[in-house]
């Protein structure tokens, strides 16, 4: 009798698709815009990751278009996105075939309208021009290098 109950319990667990005990969702899903078409994403893996691999699929969705990005850690870059566009990002932990209780997390982000990398470089270049001659900066750097080289010789 006890064996029959145990079998029935196991069958019900499989048929009902009950999530693995202790499984939690992906946590702290964050996105940071890097430039016009790149976003950096990071998250914390589920508490119980025994059945999950170290492979994650990140879907970047806009309107009716979906781009899939495969990452092998809990952080990475999403490239080739459209500038000034709203995206819904969904990260999904990879699971063994036949399981459907995988954890996911969702976040919404907008890519930049201007390339912040280019703007930063322009500001640095203009700051060097306005401070006078770049020759002085170059000589200062050479003096520091000579001092460090001489200190290492002794």
pLDDT category, 96, cuts 50, 70, 90?
Answer: low
Q: Model confidence over 128-154: pLDDT tens digits?
A: 554 443 444 445 545 544 544 444 454
Is residue 7 domain-shared with residue 82, that is, in the same domain?
Answer: yes
Q: Residues 97-124: pLDDT tens digits?
A: 655 567 788 999 999 887 665 555 555 5
**In terms of domains, do 130 and 87 share one?**
no
Tokens of 2: 């006890």
Claim to verify: residue 59 and residue 102 sit in the same structural domain: yes
| Cα-Cα-Cα-Cα dihedral sign, residues 5, 6, 8, 13 | positive
The domain in which residue 122 lies consists of 118-153
What's the domain count of the chain?
2
CATH number at residue 63: 2.60.40.10
Verify that 51 and 104 share a domain, yes or no: yes
Clarify whether residues 62 and 10 are in a common domain: yes
C-alpha span between 37 and 35 (Å, rounded): 6
Please report the pLDDT score of residue 46 as a whole number.
75
Same domain, 77 and 128: no
Kindly state whether residues 92 and 137 are assigned to the same domain.
no
Does 70 share its domain with 141?
A: no
| CB contact at 8 A, 31 and 107 | yes
Summarize pLDDT for 7-59 with one digit per residue, the tens.
655 554 444 444 444 456 788 999 999 999 999 999 988 766 555 567 889 99
Measured between alpha carbons, how far is 65 from 85 in angstroms, rounded to an integer?
Answer: 12
**Does residue 62 have a pLDDT over 90?**
yes
Residues 15, 87, single domain; the answer is yes
Do 132 and 79 fall into the same domain? no
């Amino acid at each position: 009798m006890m064996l029959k109950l145990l079998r029935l319990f196991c069958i019900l667990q499989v048929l009902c698709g009950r999530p693995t005990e202790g499984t939690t969702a992906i946590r702290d899903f964050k996105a940071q815009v890097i430039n016009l078409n790149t976003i950096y994403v990071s998250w914390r893996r589920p508490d119980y990751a025994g059945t999950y691999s170290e492979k994650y699929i990140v879907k970047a969705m806009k309107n009716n278009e979906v781009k899939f990005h495969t990452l092998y850690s809990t952080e990475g870059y999403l490239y080739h996105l459209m500038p000034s566009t709203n995206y819904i990002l969904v990260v999904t932990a990879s699971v063994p075939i036949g399981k459907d209780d995988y954890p996911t997390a969702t976040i919404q982000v907008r890519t930049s309208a201007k390339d912040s990398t280019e703007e930063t470089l322009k500001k640095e270049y203009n700051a060097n021009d306005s401070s006078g001659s770049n020759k002085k900066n170059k000589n200062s750097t050479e003096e520091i290098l000579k001092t460090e080289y001489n200190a290492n010789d002794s």
